[in-house]
Structure 1
């Protein structure tokens, strides 16, 4: 198996090509065609939830595809917008918040689905999510790395991490923490993450890529991905007491990368 970091860098450095390949897959192309042809006709939360193909496409774009059965919940989310007392705000889940912000029927009414965000950004997100899921079929670590990179700049609080299972698993792996840490009291976890992380680092592409490099090496080590030995040798990483150290050459090469143009 190709190492997680190698896969991440390969895709992120050729992101447009990879999304074009994903978009051209027959099932993806068919679903995207239906979405583009019909989403502009939707004028309410009821109508969106009532069209399974459109509803499923929208949820999948925000990483919520496995919750398509929760029609009543999402009808409420889509109807209430993003105000402090809204359901999306109370749930505090990144994907739900972004979905409610884009499909804000409460604020924009019948013109909601004519926005550029609904017409085009949702399609881009759907392709990104589908690409990540495809990678997850052979290497879950690569899927997690791509997902984290795409969403990290949106993290405003450690509670955003705690509310998203993929973000949380990525962070705990990168920090060398046991999966059982997730069983701790939520506020204790928040305190732990607040001490261990500077969230501003996730808004810096260089520091973010370094974080993902650390995650990738630890993930491969924990999951017996032998390719990680090659990555460690190539980049000069070493591990002690669960903490990965990086050589100057690694940080220089990672920080010199031009990543994320399609995601920023």
Structure 2
């Protein structure tokens, strides 16, 4: 079985071609076609939630597949939108919900919310990326973590964001070789910043070196292991379930104070 670093480098050698092959898988192609043919006909939150096939596709594309059952929760996210800084989505530590409300912004655009590219082809592209990452994780969860970190990296602007997302936290802990899921948040941020400058995540070359280091360290700690049970849970649960309660409270306080 290829090591984590070998698999990660193989996928990234021609990521465009890898994504194309993923999009051509029969199930992926079929679901994508249905979504593209029908999403523009969705005019309201009620219609969006009522079409299970559309809704499940959208949730998976947004990395929220395991929350598909929570329609009342998602309805609140969509109804309040993101324009009000005190809206439900903006109050949540997990940024995926804000991103979801922005992608399907019924609160702002009403019936035209599904006509934008982000709600159409953009969602299909995100779905294909999710399928690729999950498939890589079946062979080696270290590769899935690396691909996820790579995808999220350009949107990370603050060190605290590495603590707020369970999967990003796992990568960071592996890189530093320390536990950061509890303890004083300022101390943990300082420990991270000694070795990781989040501005470097915007540089593809520096990000590539960082993830090469991560996959190498992952392989040392868990040689060619799928670790399917534990790591998969990092993607399946809301942030609130994957981060220590004290740390979560500290992160939320920082968020509320505008830091």
- What is the TM-score when the length of structure 1 is the normalising length? 0.79
1:145-160 matches, within 5 Å, as 145-160=146-161
Between the aligned partners of 1:185 and 1:35, the Cα distance in structure 2 is 45
Root-mean-square deviation (CA), in Å?
Answer: 1.8
Aligned to 2:114: 113
Distance 1:188 1:69, change over 3 A: farther
Instruction: Give the CA deviation at 1:76.
Output: 1.0
1:42-61 matches, within 5 Å, as 42-61=42-61
Between the aligned partners of 2:192 and 2:108, the Cα distance in structure 1 is 34
Moved more, 191-200 or 53-62: 191-200
Q: Deviations over 1:17-57 (max 9, x none)?
A: 21122112121112111111111111122221222111111
Aligned to 2:101: 100
Aligned to 2:199: 200
Aligned to 1:222: 221
Q: Indicate conservation of the 8 Å contact 1:63/1:95, yes or no.
A: yes
Instruction: Give the CA deviation at 1:187.
Output: 5.4
Aligned to 2:36: 36
Between the aligned partners of 1:169 and 1:216, the Cα distance in structure 2 is 12
Moved more, 95-104 or 124-133: 95-104
Q: Deviations over 1:177-229 (max 9, x none)?
A: 13xx3133555544543454311111111111111011111100000239xxx
Between the aligned partners of 1:215 and 1:63, the Cα distance in structure 2 is 22
Aligned to 1:97, what secondary structure does the other structure show?
Answer: helix
Between the aligned partners of 1:148 and 1:54, the Cα distance in structure 2 is 27
1:181-196 matches, within 5 Å, as 181-186=180-185, 188-196=187-195
Structure 2 residue ranges without an equivalent (≥5): 226-259
- Please list every run of at least 4 consecutive aligned residues from structure 1 whose deviation after the TM superposition is greater than 6 angstroms: none
1:1-264 matches, within 5 Å, as 1-83=1-83, 84-178=85-179, 181-186=180-185, 188-225=187-224
Between the aligned partners of 1:165 and 1:10, the Cα distance in structure 2 is 25
Between the aligned partners of 2:97 and 2:161, the Cα distance in structure 1 is 11
Structure 1 residue ranges without an equivalent (≥5): 227-264
How many residue pairs were aligned? 224
Between the aligned partners of 2:223 and 2:12, the Cα distance in structure 1 is 24
- What is the TM-score when the length of structure 2 is the normalising length? 0.81
Distance 1:31 1:172, change over 3 A: same
Q: Indicate conservation of the 8 Å contact 1:80/1:86, yes or no.
A: yes
Aligned to 2:192, what secondary structure does the other structure show?
Answer: helix
Between the aligned partners of 2:65 and 2:101, the Cα distance in structure 1 is 15
